A and B are shown apart, each in its own frame.
Chain A
Amino acid sequence: MRGKVAVIGVGMIRFGELFEQSLENMIQEAYLSCLNNIDKGLDPKEIKAAWFGQWSGGFIGQGAQSGQSLATYVGLLGIPVTRLENACPTGGDTFRHACLGVASGAYDIVLALGAEKMRDKPSAESLGGAGGGGGSETGNHPAWMMGQGGPAIQAMHATRQMYELGYTMEDFARVAVKNHHNGTFCPYAHYRFEVTIEQVLNSYTVCWPLHLLDCCPQTDGAAAAIVCRADLAKNFTDKPVYVLGSNIGTDHSQLWDRKSFVEQLSTVRAAKGAFEMAGIQPKDVDFAELHDCFTNTELMNIEDVGFARKGEAARMLKDGEFDMHGRLPVNPSGGLKAHGHPIAATGLGQVYEVVTQLREEADKRQVKLKNGIGVQHNVGGPAFGVSAFTILSRSP
């Protein structure tokens, strides 16, 4: 894939509780923001195919969504559009499929858009209604942890991180403190307020050892990217961002089949494959958007993608290495924790952030660039067995 695909535009709406906006409203706003982001302009008729990321529709009773939904809403009737659902990495995987569409030679310019309407339903019927992270056929059986969902699954990881790696609830809370701080600088973030370690530890216990402020919110949102053949990119923008690698990693769909609760092999495999595609090492990355659906998950991700050895992420976080102006900023957007987690929009929102940072257009949250390389990561689904990892760069 390296050298074949470039991002020419990204778009996003402010994430949050958007009761006044329908799925169609959000999709149109993200799409138009994406078109406007292309500095030399693009005739929408040049978009020859699209991929539509959408998780919630059929799962939580909001009506089935398919390719024609996106084609209709953005006025591109007639082009091929595929609706894609791949759990929490839906957005990352939607972007990957758009890139594959271009890299294959089938299309020159394509659209990837993800949108999610989660707040119309109460939390328990929203993510939990689809079984959360435990929703495979067997995961729903009452004898085997029926519908435990993401919080319980990640809390079981957190307990083991505490036992095996010596991590503490304060270590987890520091992730929330960092990401909420970053979120205050991001105009698109769902939450834009600071939290302290004490506030996190004193918030309601959802699943011990995780508190309410250890969990990301459920969010409405939409985000998009337009990608094209790398050799055509400068016809549309002076600041193309190149795709060096984009990969999906899988692991078991049943939690009991997995070996470890302190490592997610889906993430390990996604990142390893993407780094191999790109021909670079984790040390070459300037900053990262990693899937912090829960605070403990961010620490696990930092280790699993290769930024720290297992058991060292908590100390490095405490030393400020992952702060916005630290050695390797993690989640300068505020992450899922503060920016929000509208599932299919999440990965594309991360692509938006990485592209914006690489173009040095991130204002107060701009990170320092050395190699001009940033990454996007998601992990989720039953047993957190699927992960997306994308590497973007200022140079081809």
Chain B
Amino acid sequence: MTQPAPASPVFWRFNAEVFRLIGIRCRKCGHISYPRTKICHECGSLDLQEYQLSRTGTIHTFCINWAPPPNFEPPIIPVAVDLDGGGRYLGIMTEASTPEEVKVGAKVEMVLRKMITDRGLNVYGYKFRLVEDQQ
């Protein structure tokens, strides 16, 4: 499989993005993205600034994956979340006891969780859970 091993450079390289949620915001077109880049992926501008992504947001879309990649127990619920303040984050739901609880438009927050155990090493990152107060 081509997924990176837990000790691979990818994990070190994207540390700031994954754990501190540092992204970039384009001063020209406003596009918010991650990992940090020197050329805006949306408009090509070089006028970018670091941007602190929010830990909360709203589910834009999701699916219930019964055939997930290795090291994941099915089902997993991938979500695309529109973060409060801007930017969209792709992640996986946690603490949803039934998939029926997950809906487009539901409010979610990031929590630090073990993502996978691979070759004896744990990989941590943020997952999303439903916030109790859905107002």
Q: How far is the CA of A141 from the CA of B14 in the complex (A)?
A: 9
Q: Are B90 and A255 in contact (CB under 8 A)?
A: yes
**Size bin of chain B's contact surface:** 35 or more
- Residue B30 at the chain A interface, CB threshold 8 Å: no
- B1 contacts which chain A residues (CB < 8 A)? 125, 129, 147
1/0 per residue, CB under 8 A from A, across B32-76: the answer is 011100000110000000000000000011111111111000010
| Interface residue ranges, B against A (CB under 8 Å) | 1-4, 10-11, 14, 18, 31, 33-35, 41-42, 60-70, 75, 78, 80, 87-92, 99, 104, 115-116, 123, 125-126
Could you tell me the distance in whole angstroms from the C-beta of A392 to the nearest C-beta in chain B?
34
Give chain A's interface residues, CB within 8 Å of chain B.
Answer: 59, 124-125, 128-131, 135, 137-138, 140-149, 151-152, 155-160, 163, 204-210, 252, 254-257, 261
Specify which of A125, A145, A208 is in contact with B64 (CB 8 Å cutoff).
A208
Kindly provide the distance from the CB of A258 to the nearest chain B CB, expressed in whole angstroms. 8
Q: How far is the CB of A56 from chain B (nearest CB, A)?
A: 13
Number of residue pairs A-B, CB distance < 8 angstroms: 118
> When the two chains form their complex, are residues B33 and A155 in contact, meaning their CB atoms are under 8 A apart?
no
Let me know if B63 and A152 touch, CB within 8 A: yes
Q: Which of A206, A207, A210, A255 contacts B80 (CB 8 A)?
A: A255
Q: Which residue of B lies closest to A161 (CB)?
A: B61
Cβ B31 vs Cβ A158 within 8 A: no
Q: How far is the CA of A254 from the CA of B63 in the complex (A)?
A: 17
Q: Which 5 residue pairs are nearest across A and B when measured between Cβ atoms?
A: A143-B125, A155-B63, A208-B64, A142-B115, A160-B61
A147 to B69, CA, bound (A): 6
Docked-complex contact B66 and A207, CB < 8 angstroms: yes
Residues of the B chain whose Cβ atoms lie less than 8 Å from the Cβ of A135: 2
A131 to B120, CA, bound (A): 22
Question: Which chain B residues border A129 with CB–CB below 8 Å?
Answer: 1-2
Q: Are A145 and B61 also in contact (CB < 8 A) when A140-B4, A205-B66 are?
A: no
- 17 pairs across A/B with beta carbons < 8 Å? A124-B67, A128-B69, A140-B4, A141-B11, A142-B116, A143-B115, A143-B125, A144-B89, A145-B91, A152-B63, A152-B68, A156-B78, A208-B63, A252-B41, A256-B33, A256-B34, A256-B88
Contact status B90-A146, CB under 8 Å: no
